[in-house]
Structure 1
Amino acid sequence: MSNLIIRKVAVLGAGVMGAQIAAHLVNAKVPVLLFDLPAKEGPKNAIALKAIENLKKLSPAPFGIKEDAQYIEPANYEEDLDKLKDCDLVIEAIAERMDWKHDLYKKVAPALGANAIFASNTSGLSITALSEGFDDTLKARFCGVHFFNPPRYMHLVELIPTATTAPAILDDLETFLTSVVGKGVVRAKDTPNFIANRVGIFSILAVVAEAGKFGLGFDVVDDLTGARLGRAKSATFRTADVVGLDTMAHVIKTMQDTLADDPFYPVYQTPAVLKALVEKNALGQKSGAGFYKKEGKVIKVLDPVKGEYVESAGKADELVGRILKRPPAERLKLLRESENAQAQFLWSIFRDVFHYIAVHLESIADNARDVDLAIRWGFGWNEGPFEGWQAAGWQQVAEWVKADIEAGKALANVPLPAWVFAGKVAENKGVHAAAGSYSPAADDFVPRSALAVYERQVFRAPVFGAAAADPLKYGKTLFETDTVRAWVDDRAGEDDVVIVSFKSKMNTIGPSVLDGIAQAIGLAEQSYKGVVIWQPTSLKLGTPGGPFSAGANLEEAMPAFMSGGAKGIEPFVKKFQDGMMRIKYANVPVVAAVAGIALGGGCELSLHSAKRVAHVESYFGLVEIGVGLVPAGGGLKEAALRAAEAAQAADSNNYLQFLTKSFTNAATAKVSTSALEARTMGYLKPSDTIVFNVFELLHTAKREARALAEAGYRPPLRARAIPVAGRAGIATIRAQLVNMRDGRFISAHDDLIAGKIAECVCGGDIETGSLVDEEWLLKLERKAFVELLGMAKTQERIMGLLQTGKPVRN
C-alpha cells in the first residue's frame, strides 16, 4: 500500500481558478507555490503577488481566514522553476488553449520531481492530447483534475485519466482530494468537457432553446429552474453569470470544435445573446453585468429584444408552482399534459436532459451514478438527472421521451438506446440498484469505489434507488423520542461510542432535547467510552452542511411565557444551563461534531463539549442580540472563564483585555465564515479538529471521543475562583457603547442588550479581580435574559423572527 504525502503543491497559472485552487489548498494546510509569467516591470513575481492580494477581496471568500494568504508563495517561470523539484503535485491551471499549455509543459517538465504527479485543471480539453510529447514516465504521472468554481465551496473534482496514467497515481490522488482537500471525486472519461460540464452545459443550452421556443424571459426561467426544481438558487442564467459568460462560451466552443458527429450538435451553437454579451465584455458577475446587472440595490435583467436592462419582475405562474410541489411521477405527468407555456417548457427541459444522458452515458462515464453525482456536486442539483428519471417512473418516462422524439419535439431525432427499454435496467425499473449503478459498457450494475479512504464514510452520498445506509435508522437504536435519537454504530469495534442526533426543526434545543442528551450521557457513563453529538443534516452532499443547531427552541418556550410572563421562562433557561453543565462535567467525553450553523444555544453546546470536531464550512456565533436577548446557555460564562485562564497564563490582571474579542463577538452577533475563523474567534480551540470532507465528520468525531477515553479522560475540575473584570470593565465597555449609540451605529435597544452582555462577561457590579464561581455567572445570564424578555422591543424582535425568519432591528 502506497502512502502519498503531499508536502507542497505548485499551481501553474494565477488566474481566477488557479489562484482560488491555491487558496483552498492553503485552507487545508497544504503549502503552495503560485506560478505565473514574470512581470515586464517591477518585481518578477508581481502578477502572482497581485493575484494573491485579489484573493482577499473576492466574495465568496476563497480563504477560511484571509490572513492565510501569506502561505501562498508567489513564483514565476523565469526564476523559480527549480522550486518545482520540491513539489509532490503540480496543477496546471492556465487559459484553455492547447498550444499555450503545450508551450508551458515544455518549459516545466524538465524541472518536475521524479515522482511528482502532474495534472491539468482544464475544464474540457483532451487529457490525452495534452500529454502528447511527454516521455513514458511522465505520461504515467499525468492526468486531469478538474475543480469547479468556486473551488472552496464546490464539492466536485473530476479526475480524468489517460490510457497511460498509472492506476496507483489515480488512487493516491483521489485519496488526497477526498480526505485532505475535502472533495467528492468522480472519475470521468477523457471526452470533451468530461461529465459535469458536458451534461450541465447541455442542460443550459436546452433551457435557452426551449425558453426561446416558449417565449420566456431570463428571470422567469430562473424562477422556474432554481430552488423550485431542487437546484441551485442561482438557477440557470444567474449561474452562468457567476461562472463567467466567457468561460461558458469557451466550454460551448469546445463542444462545437470536438463533437461534430454528435446527434445533438445543432444545440451546441453559441446562443446569439451569449455571443453578444461576450463581445461587449459583459461577462457576468466578474465584469458587473451579464444576463443580470446590479444597479445600487436593484437587480436588473437583460431584455434581449430591447438590448437593455430592466427591473426583474418575472415569476413562475401559481399553477406551475403548485404542480412542482407534487410527487415526481405526478409532477412530470401534469407538466407534460398542461397547455401552460411554463409547464410545457419545464417538461421539455426534463425530456431533453433525459434524452441526452441516455444517449451519451456510455461515452462520457463509467456508470449512471457518476453522472448523477457530477451534476449534483458540480451544478448544485439536489438530485441527478438519472435519479429524477427513476423516481418519476422509469418505464413511463422513457415512453414519453420516445413519443416526443418520434413526434419531432425533441432536440435531436436519435432514438433512446436499447438498454433503456430492455434487459437489466428495464427489469430493475431504473439505472440504480442495490448492487450498484448501470454501466452500458459492462451491461451490469457496478458497485462504488472500494478505496480505503471511503471506509471512514459511514454514510456516503446516497443515490436514489441504490443501496445506502440511512442515517436516520442506521445502527442500533438505544432509545428514541420525538426530538432525539441515541444510537451506536453496531459494527464490530465501532459500537463503543453513543451518537446523539436531534430530530427537532433546525436541530433546535428544547427541554426534550436536553433530556435526551442527559439520558444518552447517563447510558455512556454506564457502558460506553463517550458521546458524539452529530446531526444527519450535516450530510448536505458536500455543500455547506447543517444545521448543527440553530439554537434554543424559542417556540417550545412560548407556552411558559404566555402563562407566566418573562419570569415564567426562567425554569426553561435554568434547565438549558443545567443541560450544558451536564455536558461539560460528564464523566465520559462529549464531542460535538459540527457542520453548518452552530448558533446561539448550538454554539453554547459546542463550547461546553470536551472537544469539537468541525467541518471546515461551519459557522459559529452567539447571535441572541438579534432577538433582543443575551446568550444564556453558559456562552458568556465560558467567555469569562476562558478570559480568566488566559490572563492567568499571561500573568496579567487586565481581564478586560482577554474579554474584548468574546464581548464583541456576542454584542455584534458575529458569525464565523468558516471553522478556521471560528478558531480565531475563540469558538474553537487550537486543539479542536477541523475536517474538510463532511462525509468524514462522524468517523473523526468518534475517533476523537475514543482517543480521549483511552487517554484516561476526566472532566475539568469545577471552577470555584474565577477572577472577573467587574464594574470597572463594565464601565469601560459602556463608555464605548455610548459613542456607538450616539453615532447611530447601534440602536438604543442594542446598546441596552450589549450593556447586559458586558455585565455577564465582566462578572457583574463587583470589584475587579473578585472571585466568583460558574453558578454566579450563570445567574447573571438568567437575570439579564429574563429582564430583556419582559421588554416590548425584545418581544417585537422575537415575533418578527418567528413570523418572517429574519431579524428585526428596532
Structure 2
Amino acid sequence: MSNFIVKKVAVLGAGVMGAQIAAHCINARVPVILFDLPAKEGPKNGIVIKAIENLKKLNPAPLGNKDDAALIQPANYEDNLDLLKDCDLVIEAIAERMDWKHDLYKKVAPHIGPNTIFASNTSGLSINALSEGFDAELKARFCGVHFFNPPRYMHLVELIPTASTAPHILDQLEGFLTTTLGKGVVRALDTPNFVANRVGVFGMLATIHEAEKFGLSYDVVDDLTGAKLGRAKSGTFRTADVVGLDTLVHVVRTMQESLKDDPFYDVYATPAVVTKLVESGALGQKSGAGFYKKVGKDILRLDPAKGDYVPGGAKADDIIGRILKEKDPVKKMKALRESTNPQAQFLWAIFRDAFHYIAVHLESVADNARDIDFAMRWGFGWSVGPFETWQAAGWQQVANWIKEDIEAGNALCKAPLPAWVFDGREGVHTPEGSYSPKKNAYVPRSDLPVYQRQAFRAQLVGENAPKGATAGTTVHEDDAVRIWHQNDDVLILSFKTKMHIISPDVVEGMKRAVAEAEKNYKGLVIWHADAAEGGAFSAGADLQSMLPVFMAGGVKAIGPEVSRLQNAHMMLKYANVPVVAAVAGLALGGGCEMIMHAAKRVAALESYIGLVEVGVGLLPGGGGLKEIALRAAKQAKGTDILQFLKDTYMHAATAAVSKSALEAKKLGYLAEDDVIVFNPYELLHVAKSEARALFDAGYRAPLREPVRVAGRYGIATIGAQLINMRDGGFISAHDYKIGSLIAEVVSGGDVEPDSLVSEQWLLDLERKYFLELLNSPKTQERIMGMLQTGKPVRN
C-alpha cells in the first residue's frame, strides 16, 4: 500500500464555495492556492485578496481560526498557472456553466502536473461532458468532487467518476476527503444533480407543490418540515432563502433540461412564486428578502395572495406536534395517513412523494439505497434518511398506501412503484448490506483502509451492527456510565446521562474507571458513542440533581459534592496511566474542567469548549480556575504572571466558548500539542492510539509542584479593570462580584505576589467562593432561570 499525501491543493475560483473550500483545507493544515481572474484595477490578485478578507466576516465561520486566512496563497490565471504543477489536487469551483468551465480547462490543463488529480466541484453538470476534450491521461485523473455548503460544516462530499476515471484515483481521494478533511463520502453516478441535490431539490419542489395544495403558509410549513421531522431547523422555505432562490432556479433548470423523460418531469417546473421573486430581485437572504423578509427585529413572511409581506411566526397545530412526538414510527405514519387535519395530510403527502420518487429512481441515481440515505443525512441535515424512514414505518404497509395513492391519482405522477418494492422484503437495509436494484443484491459497506479507522461508522435503520453504546466488552455498567473495552489494552469510559452531564453517579464512575485502568490497562479514554452524530462531550455539572440536596441541606450540603468533583478531576490528572479525553461537540463548565485535567486531549474540529459558569451566577468549581493559575505560572517561567493570566482570566469571566478546536487552543483550553481530528468517526481510534503511545513512551503522572501566584497584585490589577467595566455599564454589579471572586482564585488569594501555594489551596478557594455565590439570591435567580427556560438570566 502506498501513501497518498496531498502536499498542496489549488482551488480555481474564489467565489463563495471556492474560497470556503480553500479555508477548510487551511483548517486541516493543507497548504492551498486560491485562483481567480486577474483584477482589472489595483493589484492583480485583488479579486482573491478580497475573497480571503471576506472569509473572516462570514457566519457560520469557514475558518476554525480567523487569523489563518493569511495562510491562503492568492493567485490569478494570468501570472501564476505554473504553480499548478506542484499541486497534488486541483479543484475547480467556478460558476455552473459548461462553456465557462471548458474555457478554463483549456487554459489550465497544460500546467497540471502528471500525477495531479483534477476535480470539479460542480453541483450537477455532467462529469463526462466536462471531461470532453481532455487527453486520455488527464481523463483518467479527472472526477467530480461535490462539497455541500457550508463546506466546513456539511459532512457530505459526493465523488463522481467519469467513464474513464482510474479507480485508484477515487480510492486515494476518498481517503483524503475522509480523514484529512473529515468528510462523509458518497460515490454518485453521473446523473443530473447527482444524489443529494436530485432527491433534496425534488423534495423541496414537492413540498412547495403540496403546501399550495393544502393551503399552508410558509412559516407553518417550515415549522412542520424542520426540527419536528429531525431535519434542518430552517425547514423548507427558509432553507431556500439561505441557499439563494437564483441558485434554486439554476438547479431546477438543470433538471428541466436534462430529465425530459422523467415521469416526475411536471414537478421540475420552477414554482411561479419563485420566478416572480427572482424577477423582482428578491433572491433570499443575500438580497434581504425572499420567502421571508427581516424588518427591524421582525421576520415577515410572503403572502402570495396579497403579493406582500405579513407578520410570520405561525406554528404547526398542537395535535400534529403530538403525532410527531410518537416514538413508534409505524404508529406515527399511520396517524398522519389517517388524520383529516390538512397539516397531517400534507406531511403524509410529502413522505409519500419522497418514497415514490426514490423507489422509482434508485436504480438510475445511486449504486444502492445506503447512498441515498447518507446523502440526505449528510448533505441536507436530516437525522434519518428517506429509505430508513420508510423501512422503520413498516415497508409493505407504506408501499401499499403509496400504491393506493398512485391509483387514486393523489400522487405526483402515475409511474407505478418498481416490482422489487413488493417482493416480500421488509426494507432495503440489512446486516449484509443495502439493496441495489441494478445488481439485484445487497451491497456491503466500502472496505477501503480509511474505514479501518472508524470503529463505529454511521448506522442505518435495519443494519443491526453494534453501536459504540453496545459494542465491545463491558467491565461495569449502571444508569450513569459504561466502562468497557474493545478487547484490547485501552479502557473506555462513556457517560449515559443526558448531554453527558456530570451527575454524582458519573463522578463515582470516573473514580471506578481510573482504578480499573490503573490495574489492568495501558490507558483510559473518555469517549461517547453519539459524539460523531453531533452529541455533546459534556454540558457540565448536573444542576438539577444538586437542587434537592440544596433544598434539604442548604449550601453546607453542596460543599462535599463540589469536593467530590474536584477530587475526581484530580484523580484523572494524577492517574498512573494516561487519561485521554476524546472531545466532540460541547465541552462546557465541568465538561471543560474535566478535559483540562486529562493527560491529553483529542478533539474533533467542531468542539465548542469553555468555562460558562458565570451564566448561572457561579464560578468554575471543578478545578478549572486552578488549572488556569497553574498554566499561567508555567508559561511565565519566573516573569510577570499577570501577562499570562489576563486573557485566560477574561475567558472564564466572560464565559467565552471556542467556536472550533483550533480556537480552543488559542483560548488555552486545549494545549498546543493536543490533537485535532477532522472526522468525528475517527475520534476513538486516534484517542486510543494517543493513550497507547503515551504508555509505551513510559508515561508517568505529573509530579505535584507548588504553584507561583500573582497574589494581591493580581487581584488589584484585575479588580481595577472590572471597576471600569462595571462603571461603564458593560457588566452588572453581580457580574462584578463574580469577576472579583474569579480574580481572587486565579491570583491565589490574599497573599504576597510570587507566593508559592499548593493545588489544594487553589481548589479550596474555588470551593469557598463557589459556595458563597450559591448562597446569593442573585445567583439563585440565574440558576432557576436557566433550569426553567434554558436561557441565561442577566441580573
Indicate whether the TM-score tops 0.5. Answer: yes
Aligned partner letter, 1:581: M
| 2:700 aligned partner | 714
2:585 counterpart SS class:
strand
Q: 2:550 aligns with which of 550, 561, 571?
A: 561
Q: Secondary structure at the match of 1:632?
A: coil
Residue 626 (1) aligns with residue 615 (2): yes
Q: Secondary structure at the match of 1:777?
A: helix
- SS at structure 1 position matched to 2:78: coil
In structure 1, runs of 5+ residues without a counterpart are none
Conservation of the 8 A alpha-carbon contact between 1:496 and 1:530 = yes
Matched, 1:697 2:694: no
The CA deviation at 1:580 is: 0.6
Q: How far is the alpha carbon of 1:537 from its aligned partner?
A: 2.2
Equivalent-residue separation in structure 2 for 1:2 and 1:442 (angstroms): 31
Distance in 2 (CA, whole Å) between partners of 1:109 and 1:436 is: 40
Task: Look up the match of 1:135.
Answer: 135
CA distance in 2 between partners of 1:739 and 1:530 (Å): 48
Aligned partner of 2:6 in structure 1 is 6
Contact 2:467–2:529 (CA<8 Å) still a contact in 1?
no
Deviation at 1:297, TM superposition (A): 1.8
Q: Residues of 1 paired with 2:313 and 2:726: CA distance?
A: 38
Q: Which residue of 1 aligns with 2:508?
A: 515
Q: Secondary structure at the match of 2:75?
A: strand
Hey, what does 1:368 align to over in structure 2?
A: 369
Indicate the residue corresponding to 1:779 in structure 2: 764
Contact 2:592 2:610 in 1 (8 A): yes
CA contact (8 A) 1:436 1:467 kept: no
The equivalent of 2:528 in structure 1 is 535
- Counterpart of 2:57? 57
Structure 1 position 184, deviation (Å): 0.1
Question: Structure 1 CA distance, aligned partners of 2:681 and 2:166?
Answer: 27
2:745 pairs with one of 760, 765, 785: 760
In 2, Cα distance between the equivalents of 1:340 and 1:19? 46
1:780-807 deviation line (CA, Å, top 9, x unaligned): 1001000000000000111111111111
Letter of the 1:302 counterpart: L
For 1:658 and 1:697, locate their aligned partners in 2 and report how far apart those are by CA, in whole Å: 31
How big is each residue's C-alpha offset from its partner over 1:444-494, in whole Å with a ceiling of 9 and x where there is no partner? 10100000000110110001001322211110000011101000012xxxx
- Match in the other structure for 2:668: 682
Match of 1:152 in 2: 152
Distance 1:510 1:189 in 2: 49
**Cα distance, 1:559 vs structure 2:** 2.4
Deviation at 1:296, TM superposition (A): 2.2
Distance in 2 of aligned mates of 1:467 and 1:109: 47
TM-score of the aligned structures, taking structure 1 as reference length: 0.97
Partner-residue secondary structure (3-state), 1:124: coil
1:351 pairs with 2:352: yes
Contact 2:611 2:655 in 1 (8 A): yes
Match of 1:442? 439
**Identity rate of aligned residues, in percent?**
69
Match of 1:500 among 493, 496, 509: 493
Pairing 1:740-751 to 2, within 5 Å after superposition = 740-751=725-736
Q: CA deviation at 1:121?
A: 0.3
Determine if contact 1:497/1:532 at 8 Å carries over to the other structure.
yes
Aligned to 2:391: 390
Question: Could you say what secondary structure the match of 1:240 adopts?
Answer: helix
Q: What secondary structure sits across from 1:454 in the alignment?
A: helix
2:690 aligned partner, one-letter code: E
> Counterparts of 1:18 and 1:280 in 2: how far apart (Å)?
28
Q: What secondary structure sits across from 1:629 in the alignment?
A: coil
Describe the SS at the equivalent of 1:202.
helix
Question: Quick one: distance in 1 between partners of 2:535 and 2:651?
Answer: 21
1:2-151 equivalent positions in 2, closer than 5 A: 2-151=2-151
Q: 1:283 deviation in Å?
A: 1.7
1: distance between equivalents of 2:117 and 2:466? 34
For the 8 Å contact 2:24–2:152, the answer to whether it is kept is yes
Further displaced range: 275-284 or 249-258: 275-284
Deviation at 1:694, TM superposition (A): 0.4
RMSD between superposed Cα atoms in Å: 0.8
1:432-511 correspondence to structure 2 within 5 Å = 432-490=429-487, 495-511=488-504
2:290 and 2:576 mapped to 1: Cα distance?
Answer: 59
3-state SS of the aligned residue for 2:526?
strand
Q: Deviations over 1:753-804 (max 9, x none)?
A: 0000000000011111111010110011001000000000000111111111
Offset at 1:361? 0.2
Partner of 2:196: 196
List alignment gaps of at least 5 residues for structure 2.
none
- Name the CA distance, whole Å, in 1 between partners of 2:724 and 2:589: 27
Asked whether the equivalents of residues 745 and 762 of structure 2 are also in contact (C-alpha less than 8 Å), the reply is yes
Q: For residues 64 and 308 of structure 2, what CA distance do their matches in structure 1 show?
A: 38
What is the one-letter code of the residue matched to 2:671? K
CA distance, structure 1, for counterparts of residue 344 and residue 495 of structure 2: 38
Aligned residues: 794
CA shift, 1:307, in A, is 2.0
Give the structure-2-normalised TM-score. 0.99
Shift of 1:331: 1.4
Shift of 1:659: 0.3
Paired letter, 1:615:
A
> Equivalents in 2 of 1:621, 1:779: separation in Å?
22
- The answer for the alignment partner of 1:799 in structure 2 is 784
Separation (CA, whole Å) in 1 of partners of 2:624 and 2:532? 27
Which letter maps to 1:458? Answer: A
Contact 1:460–1:468, Cα closer than 8 Å, also in 2: no
Q: Secondary structure at the match of 2:587?
A: strand
